[in-house]
Structure 1
């Protein structure tokens, strides 16, 4: 990525005349969510669209362009004109797909302008109540005593839940069978029923199940404990240092987006995340607001792409 694309908000005032010429008030703004409605990315997009509309002074319209692990919607953004009227909110898959997909008509590393990391979604490792374990160490010992006999679920191949699970199994040297589901809900249903051994679920989907005693929370995937589960340790502090793998969302424009327009969109992200109603809703969902600047986000995306490529190689992960 060229540093000139990410000069930051300090140039927004200097770029104002250019913005006025390139930004058409008669056109709505497209916020592409490259996944089906109802998931985490779609939830994030629709939550942010209203305050973004207020900041930008133009209607921000969320468009779902799902399919092929997010690459169909991403391709549409990659082909769009870099005038600020089309942006995308994407998930962790943005940095995983390059290691798994071949023959894409665009390059994830060069086709987009990173604007801001928007949210982090920590995950919770949960097991059925019937499993006789109370913490991660006991879980590891239980699985090691039953090599190849247990399975685990995820919301699909190469999703954040699958990646978090694969990383843990790789670090702990565990042998379990992966069962990919079409979304997180059916995986959780089978977990509650005791049909699979564990799932990494989001706070939004898993916290209530744990609080109701229908599943047992053993660890969280984030670097720090969650306020909603203060007695549940992180994976890192339970024997696996430097372990961290969360779902996250980031905002991108097409390659060539002008620095002033990048600054304008970053400002809209910051304003949306500062909105009291948005913050309250994020608290209930267990999402952590970020709002990083374009430079920092560009570095983060590059680091994540390298880390995910290494994980895919180490675990021999495939889309299936």
Structure 2
């Protein structure tokens, strides 16, 4: 469990004394906060975008990792920043989950940030060991229904996108399984390959090669459309669960009160970065889908996701663990 004393102390440090606004100047670098440890999907997204953003903004974009507390410590850093355009954050699905999971935060996720753009979507693949006697989702559900409570599924941690995708599928299919949370996706995949788990949802970047090598079997994808890299693998929605969709995704946010010209400037930088051929090539290789939505529809999407994810967390009784 995340100790509340540590969480609140780490988040509130300096929150009551926001920095004075600094003018936008080409001589100053801008901070792109990644509220997770280096090496993960958010960090990868941030570093891919930083170079083309530097060119389009005319200022150095510096990625700063502020990990801890499921992204909330980095989010607090942005919540207390001056709304001058010099500090923004790229956050994950957890941005819409944390408000329900965490109590006593010194900021409100709903009001502390200015949504700028949904940047990327990271579809997930439902994978099983190759010796599991199922070839599609229908066969998997039938197999699991005869073994209530006997099967296990893994995830990269409690209330992560992988956990949420699994919980939503199990809920809609009426299945009972034991959740085994790991500290990251890699150890969960290792146990799945070793036959110690029944299934895992994993991002394309982490699971595609395993599927192509036959070390795991892909049964479904979590997006509403099939993946170009796995055209023969149907979506969950196609296999009896209409409108099922639960992907990892990244969005760009500024502090609350970010002026419209700064919002527009960052949004334009997102569009330029996502149009860069080198960035697109790398995203294709990672299985990420560029979005670049405008601020208004993105804000509406964040509200919808906060409600939907909050309901799923409450209905399934998820905790941070």
- 1:151 paired with 2:152, answer yes
- How far is the alpha carbon of 1:27 from its aligned partner? 1.4
- How far is the alpha carbon of 1:315 from its aligned partner? 1.0
Normalising by structure 1, what TM-score? 0.93
DSSP 3-state at the match of 1:48:
helix
- How far is the alpha carbon of 1:316 from its aligned partner? 1.2
Unaligned runs of 5+ in 2: 1-21
Q: Deviations over 1:125-158 (max 9, x none)?
A: 0000111100001111111111111110000001
Residues in 1 aligned to 2:189 and 2:278: alpha-carbon distance in whole angstroms: 29
In structure 2, what is the equivalent of residue 285 of structure 1? Answer: 286
- Report matched runs for 1:257-272 at 5 Å: 257-272=258-273
- How far is the alpha carbon of 1:253 from its aligned partner? 0.2
In structure 2, what is the equivalent of residue 228 of structure 1? Answer: 229
In structure 2, what is the equivalent of residue 183 of structure 1? Answer: 184
Residues in 2 aligned to 1:248 and 1:169: alpha-carbon distance in whole angstroms: 21
In structure 2, what is the equivalent of residue 317 of structure 1? Answer: 318
Q: Deviations over 1:109-130 (max 9, x none)?
A: 0000000000000000000011
- How far is the alpha carbon of 1:69 from its aligned partner? 0.4
- How far is the alpha carbon of 1:314 from its aligned partner? 1.4
- How far is the alpha carbon of 1:24 from its aligned partner? 2.1
In structure 1, what is the equivalent of residue 24 of structure 2? Answer: 23
- Report matched runs for 1:197-276 at 5 Å: 197-276=198-277
- How far is the alpha carbon of 1:207 from its aligned partner? 0.6
CA RMSD, 1 decimal: 0.8
Unaligned runs of 5+ in 1: 1-20
DSSP 3-state at the match of 1:125:
strand
Residues in 1 aligned to 2:58 and 2:260: alpha-carbon distance in whole angstroms: 19
In structure 1, what is the equivalent of residue 125 of structure 2? Answer: 124
In structure 1, what is the equivalent of residue 137 of structure 2? Answer: 136
Residues in 2 aligned to 1:250 and 1:22: alpha-carbon distance in whole angstroms: 24
DSSP 3-state at the match of 1:208:
helix
- How far is the alpha carbon of 1:104 from its aligned partner? 0.3
Residues in 1 aligned to 2:318 and 2:241: alpha-carbon distance in whole angstroms: 21
DSSP 3-state at the match of 1:22:
coil
Normalising by structure 2, what TM-score? 0.93
- How far is the alpha carbon of 1:181 from its aligned partner? 0.4
In structure 1, what is the equivalent of residue 6 of structure 2? Answer: none
- How far is the alpha carbon of 1:26 from its aligned partner? 2.0
- How far is the alpha carbon of 1:71 from its aligned partner? 0.2
Residues in 1 aligned to 2:260 and 2:154: alpha-carbon distance in whole angstroms: 42
In structure 2, what is the equivalent of residue 8 of structure 1? Answer: none
- Report matched runs for 1:5-154 at 5 Å: 22-154=23-155
Structure 1 window deviating more from structure 2 (87-96 vs 22-31): it is: 22-31
Residues in 1 aligned to 2:45 and 2:126: alpha-carbon distance in whole angstroms: 22
Residues in 2 aligned to 1:193 and 1:315: alpha-carbon distance in whole angstroms: 28
DSSP 3-state at the match of 1:200:
strand
Residues in 1 aligned to 2:159 and 2:46: alpha-carbon distance in whole angstroms: 22
Q: Which runs of 4+ in 1 moved over 4 A?
A: none
- How far is the alpha carbon of 1:317 from its aligned partner? 1.1
- How far is the alpha carbon of 1:28 from its aligned partner? 0.7
Residues in 1 aligned to 2:286 and 2:194: alpha-carbon distance in whole angstroms: 24
DSSP 3-state at the match of 2:180:
strand
The structure with higher relative contact order (CA 8 Å, sep 6+) is 1
Residues in 2 aligned to 1:24 and 1:80: alpha-carbon distance in whole angstroms: 17
Q: Deviations over 1:166-203 (max 9, x none)?
A: 00010011110000000000000000000001000000
